[in-house]
Amino acid sequence: MTTRFALLVVAACLIQTEAAAQDIEFADFEGKSYAPWIATGDAFGDAPATGTLPGQMAVEGFHGKQLVNSFRNGDGSTGTLTSPEFTIDRHFISFLIGGGGHEHKTCMNLLIEGKVVQTAAGSNLTAGGSERLEPLSWDVTEFSGRKAKLQIVDEVTGGWGHVNVDQIVFTNTKPPTVLKDAKRELVADKRWMLLPVRTGAPKKVVSISVDGRVERAFDIELADSEPEWWSVLDVSPFHGKTLTISVNQIRDDSKALSSIFLSEVTTEKDLYRESLRPQFHFSPARGWNNDPNGMVFFEGQWHLFFQHNPYGWNWGNMHWGHAVSSDLMRWTETGEALYPDHQGTMFSGSAVVDWKNTSGFGNGKVPPIVLFYTAAGGTGPQSAGQGFTQGLAYSTDSGKTWTKYEKNPVLREITGGNRDPKVIWHEPSQQWIMTLYVERNPKQTIEFFGSKNLKDWTFLSAIDGFFECPDFFELPVDGDSKKTRWVLTAANSEYMLGSFDGKTFTPDGPKLPGHRGRGFYAAQTYSDAPNGRRIQIGWLQAPSPGMRFNQCMSIPLELTLRTTSEGVRLHWSPVEELKPLLTDAKKFSAEFDKPLPCPELAQIELTATAADGMIEMNVRGATITLNGAARELTVNDHRVKLPPSSKDTVTVYVDRTCLEIFAADGVVYVPLPFISPADNKTLTVKRTGNAAVESLNVHRVLGTWQH
């Protein structure tokens, strides 16, 4: 053999060896049909799915635009999808899989001579969960040279009765191994457990067990490497105990489990100084918030509970977070008040002070504060699937600690859509009244219940037309305590005025408009507020992208009933406790139609009074137009009708992620999510026609997190 020929042979062998080592993409399911795969039954259809199917949660984590998804016609369909035969000539088969975790029934199998030699299922068995596909692989070295087939199977017709598969690759490179139920132990010698989070990472189910019992369980987007932020879990109730941390599935090269640690300190150097942290609106230190809950005043403190996901930027894992304030503006979080349990996650509700100890929960020293909540059975990792029920918890130490009633639920499921109990004391009938949203398809109703002891409830009456998060309270008209009306409102803040006799609410007329903006939802008012004040806080659906927290609450609002030309109406105004935060006053009275000298504008309160014509204000990038002739207020692209008036005053509050605007003496309240551009601190006022700006006052609003 010549040297040249020998070199050519060696080169050819190297090329063949390199080709043999290359990965083979066996199936990416990007074609117009499954061919040459063969489908049976009705679960898979004739072609791959283009992502999420009707009625399904969002499917994520697949490659390209298509995948195998057996949710065709829902979980009731079944079938198989079988590949053509192939020869195993690589060490590993890797793939993406999700959906139901029913072993051997919602799965993918490796078949040799018709027998299953390897199998893998999805990860979900209980309500909730995620439709994200996860990477898995098999070591098939022992089957080298054998003929084989892949078969995707859906044999389940109940919950999570489907399977998702994509990106099947034959490879000689060992893929990361996914470990099931990986565990680690730590002794609870410090108060806080810190868990690494990366928003958008695949969700894992983490459980914390003590003495063999699961005490905490939640979904979390664990960071496999460098976290974006740290979630905080209070483990002080288990001090000195061994904590077993379990993760349902995790890659063997992930650092998530090993990086979890305990600490006495939770403060990060930039906490509350993030670029999108609202400065005079409450937001949680970390995680998602939505509905305000359990709002009650007691012993000089305003208690604000709220729907909270401490472990993620998005909705989920509903706890009751808890914050307190002495002035309604500067808030201190005290940790989670209510954790999910076997009856479900903790959905919305209310709070009262049981001054007469009708419940018997009191200790003779401090009257109990009692929380009412919906246990959303079937929506969390710990849930026993008991449906939506109403429970209570109480505190005898002024709200520092909470005990769930041992005989919960106090009201069992009425329909699949009953939730959000609001409880008040009705003095004339000497009983507690609960208003509860109850979905009676196709009707949406608020049902009234009565109780003498907060534990035993009797149905009283119902009224149609309201959806979620009811609130019910009495207010004087024009400040006259002898002339009152009852107000029934719900999640979108539309309301009815009427009378209440201890059993039945009788409306004076149809529903009336509440707020006139967007993104204001599930507002609640305080129980036991001093001096008969009616203080409301709503959930402002104002996203904070890229932050460790998400959403915020509205400014605390004082509600009054006043007579207008159109009848008695609710009026909204910022609470007087906001005034001490206003500083650096600037008054303008002459020159407009050009940028005004306010170089330090960041958080703003602006009040303008105008007559005739139209004025347009641009405040930190938000355009607010007041058209007196057309009786219209426009905020960016949002239009609101104004009641008749010869003069208009509008007050604007601008924070980092939201606007709140008050007009027509408070009849018109316009909250809106809006992220002010960080570099835009300009203020301009333009007039059209005969418009006159009679006054324009501007204040900087101090940040509450700095005090």
Catalytic residue among 75, 166, 219, 291: 291
Distances (CA, A) of 474 to 118, 467, 582: 66, 20, 31
Q: Give how far the C-alpha of residue 356 lies from the chain's centroid of Cα atoms, to the nearest Å.
A: 36
What 3 state SS string does 323-364 have?
EEECCCCCCEEEEEEECCECCEEEEEEEEEECCCCCCCCCCC
* Alpha helices, DSSP H, located in 196-341: 256-259
Pairing mode, if any, of strands 668-673 and 658-663?
antiparallel
Structure tokens at 656: 């980092």
* Cα separation of the two ends of the chain: 88
Closest CA to 317 of 219, 227, 393: 219
* Unique residue bearing structure tokens 């670029």: 275
The whole-angstrom separation of Cα 30 and Cα 50 is: 9
Three-state SS string across 581-641, please? HEEEEEEECCCCCCCCCCCCCCCEEEEEEEECCEEEEEECCEEEEEECCCCEEEECCEEEE
DSSP state for residue 440 in the 8-state scheme: E
Interatomic CA distance for residues 217 and 13, integer angstroms: 55
Closest C-alpha among 589, 597, 572, 535 to residue 651: 572
CA distances from 377 to 120, 128, 345, 380, 436 (A): 29, 11, 7, 8, 17
328 Cβ contact partners less than 8 Å away, ≥ 6 residues apart:
302, 535, 556, 575, 577
> Is 478 one of the catalytic residues?
no
What H or E segment, with its residue span, contains residue 137? strand 134-139
- From the number of C-beta atoms within 10 Å of its C-beta (0-12, 13-18, 19+), residue 461 rates as middle
Alpha-carbon torsion 353, 358, 360, 362, what sign? positive
- Enzyme catalytic residues: 291
